[in-house]
Amino acid sequence: MIKNEFVLYGLTKYKEIIDKIINDLKVIHDNFDIRLILTEALTNAFKHGNDGNDGKPIFLRYTCDDIKIVFEIEDSGTGFRNIVIPDKALDETLLNESGRGLFLIKCIADKLELRNNTLVIEKYLTQ
């Protein structure tokens, strides 16, 4: 089992961290999905959770075994409130100013959970 944690302040290093995670996990078939999931989740944490303040930390934790990877992205905000994640692309809420990132994550991930100020994402690996 692989476990790791990163702390980000702002988004200046997020691409390097995502590259490192993908390299460490050696998940060839899931590279695009993992990159998209993490890009959307970290951007969401920075913009909405931390209000764009690069002085506030974002914690990125993950565990991975042969079957699945679980990401936890924790921001310094007060938590998710009244979040509606569209169920389908035709949902009128998809055109709202925000929410598409979580929609994309929900489409790609096998499980998405909002816990206070932490986004928990589970993705089964392609075998």
Tens digit of each residue's pLDDT (9 = 90 or more) over 55-106: 999 999 999 998 999 999 999 987 666 666 656 555 565 566 666 788 889 8
CA dihedral (68, 122, 102, 94) positive or negative = positive
pLDDT of residue 28: 81
Using an 8 Å Cβ cutoff, are 86 and 98 in contact?
Answer: no
Point out which residues pair with 111 in neighbouring strands: 122
- The encoded tokens of residue 124 equal 């089964």
Q: Angle at the Cα of 119 (from 114 to 121), degrees rounded to 5?
A: 100
- Report the predicted TM-score, pTM, of the whole model to 2 decimal places: 0.86
Q: Angle at the Cα of 58 (from 54 to 67), degrees rounded to 5?
A: 150
pLDDT of residue 77: 83
Q: What is the mean pLDDT of the chain?
A: 87
Q: What is the CATH number of domain 2-124?
A: 3.30.565.10
